[in-house]
Amino acid sequence: MTTRKITTMAILSGIVLGAAATEGFNVYRQSHDSQIFQERLRCKAVADAYVKEETSTDPEHVFLTLDKVDYSPARNS
- Structure letter (DSSP) for residue 59: G
- Asked whether residue 43 is domain-assigned, the answer is yes
In the predicted model, is pLDDT for residue 75 greater than 60? yes
- Asked whether residue 47 is domain-assigned, the answer is yes
Number of independent structural domains in the chain: 1
- Asked whether residue 52 is domain-assigned, the answer is yes
Query: What tens digit of pLDDT does each residue of 31-58 get?
Result: 888 888 888 888 888 888 887 877 776 6
- Asked whether residue 77 is domain-assigned, the answer is no
Mean pLDDT, the chain, rounded, equals: 84
Quickly list DSSP for 28-75. HHHHHHHHHHHHHHHHHHHHHHHHHHHHHH-GGGTT---S-----TTT
Given a contact cutoff of 8 angstroms between Cβ atoms, the answer to whether 69 and 47 are in contact is yes
